Amino acid sequence: MGLSTFIGGVHPYEGKELSSDKPIQVIQPKGELVFPLSQHIGAPAKPLVAKGDTVLAGQKIAEAGGFISANVICSVSGTVKGIEPRLMANGSMVQSIIVENDGEYRTVEGFGQKRDYTALSKQEIRDIVKEAGIVGLGGAGFPTNVKLAPKNEEEIDYVIVNGAECEPYLTSDYRVMLEQPEKVVGGLKVILQLFDKAKGVIGIEENKPEAIRILSELVKDEPRIQVCTLKTKYPQGGERFLIYAVTGGREINSTMLPADAGCIVDNIDTVVSIYNAVCETTPLIRRIITVTGDAIREPRNFEVRLGTNYQELIEAAGGFKEEPEKVLSGGPMMGQALFSYDIPVMKTSSALTCLTKDQVAANAETACIRCGRCVDVCPGRVVPQMLMTAAEHHDLAAFEKLNGMECCECGSCTFICPAHRPLTQAFKEMRKAVMAERKKKA
């Protein structure tokens, strides 16, 4: 029987050997911490504190600003220095709460207490997840409490834990699976308590045999949980492609949610964060971050408090052994290039990838030779070459007609293109323009 997978995809250099054998190391922040009010999909959070206020670790300092929004929880104790715009990884300036860390890490009452999730109602579990400020930690940042409350709850028959970690260089989820497998399974059990008819599936790519072994052993006596071995291929961890692989062919498009296909999908660290919140009364105040790349002296995986400055992570990894030409927040396929390291770790931060060579800049763009490779690898089953023509003419109508909104911006077409055309970047801008036009009309 073949391994579960999807149609299309590419096989970029993995780069995971740089940090895959490095255990998670806890580091504490040194100076001020920055908590953006918008580090999730949806409305920005609303501040609950003001300049001069004393705050504690685990304290809610901003509340969800709407149905699709998320609370912001302070990760340290200290004093609020102010609320002001700060630079984010995507280049935008976002209103943020600035906290001066007092180094004492005093916590709110009840922080870290054990709790029996089986004694909680479904609504109590969802309320705890909401209060904890948990969002999807795989990149999108969708509020998890909303995801766990689909309108068709009784139709959910799969809860899928995304352990693929297909993005090159990243190994934080892999280390969590090795070091905290009980929390992965425990968090999945919490979610399964919300969906009576669902079975839990932990999807892991075959290039992580030790994680597959550990988790398979852990769930061998769990009738509702199994481990699914996936083919190693990018972007196997993409939500729609993971669903297709695990369920044997269920499909969703850009207008659908996973729940429309009877699925709930959560990233490994999201599931662990659910366990921490529900079973250990600990809200989302930390992230596991991979700091890696051939420019970093000591590639590592860190457990770091939210709000910590990226510069501190670089220093904790020994600094640069060679000045990098490109530094990315995230991995090389979907990460965002940085022009400053004065950026805070947010809920959606996953990695800092530091590369000695900027391979994209080194390859000059040439004319399309119509080889069709971009079509072969596109997991969204669109025709990138035709979409690029629409993008070059800024023809929004043609872009939509060619199903351009089904592009998941994975970068597979750009990676495989022998002409080095910036396909994904163009499609990303076009998708933004289409959504803006739709919003304007609405």
List the beta bridge partners of residue 92: none
pLDDT(314) > 70: yes
CA pair distance 302, 312, nearest whole angstrom: 11
Q: Across residues 390-418, what is the average pLDDT?
A: 96
Say which residue the tokens 């609020």 belong to.
80
Annotated binding site: 368, 371, 374, 378, 407, 410, 413, 417
pLDDT of residue 1: 41
List the beta bridge partners of residue 96: 36, 84
pLDDT(139) > 80: no
- C-alpha distances in angstroms, 358 versus 147, 291, 324, 342? 37, 17, 8, 21
Helix (DSSP H) and strand (DSSP E) numbers for the chain: 14, 17
Model confidence pLDDT, tens digit, residues 258-306:
999 999 999 999 999 999 999 999 999 999 999 999 999 999 999 999 9
**Average pLDDT over the chain, rounded to an integer:** 96
Residues 288, 172: contact at Cβ < 8 Å? yes
pLDDT(70) > 80: yes
Tell me the three state secondary structure of residue 266.
strand
Question: pLDDT above 70 covers what percent of the chain?
Answer: 100
Here the tokens at position 194 are 């919300």
pLDDT of residue 49: 98
Q: Across residues 29-36, what is the average pLDDT?
A: 95
Residues 161, 9: contact at Cβ < 8 Å? no
For residues 8-41, b (16+ Cβ closer than 10 Å) or e, as one string?
bbbebebbbebbbebebeebebeebbbbbbbbbb
Q: Detail the DSSP E strand segments found in 2-77.
A: 24-27, 32-36, 46-47, 54-55, 60-63, 72-73
End-to-end CA distance of the chain, in Å?
Answer: 49
Closest Cα to residue 289, out of 300, 299, 302? 302
Residues 390, 430: contact at Cβ < 8 Å? yes
Number of residues assigned to the chain: 442
pLDDT of residue 2: 60
DSSP string, 64-103: -SSSS---EE--S-EEEEEEEEEE-TTS-EEEEEEEEE-S
Question: pLDDT above 90 covers what percent of the chain?
Answer: 95
Model confidence pLDDT, tens digit, residues 164-209:
999 999 999 999 999 999 999 999 999 999 999 999 999 999 999 9
Burial bucket for residue 255 (CB in 10 Å: 0-12, 13-18, 19+): exposed
CA pair distance 71, 46, nearest whole angstrom: 8
At a CB cut-off of 8 Å and minimum separation 6, what does 389 contact?
A: 398
Q: Across residues 29-43, what is the average pLDDT?
A: 95
Tell me the three state secondary structure of residue 284.
coil
pLDDT of residue 146: 96
Model confidence pLDDT, tens digit, residues 140-166:
899 999 999 999 899 999 999 999 999
Residue 245 region by backbone torsions, left for phi larger than 0, else alpha for psi between -120 and 50, else beta:
alpha
Model confidence pLDDT, tens digit, residues 261-272:
999 999 999 999
Cα dihedral: 174, 178, 184, 185 (round 10): 130
Report the amino acid identity of residue 171.
T
Annotated binding site for [4Fe-4S] cluster: 368, 371, 374, 378, 407, 410, 413, 417
Q: What is the pTM of this model?
A: 0.96
Strand (E) or helix (H) holding 194: none
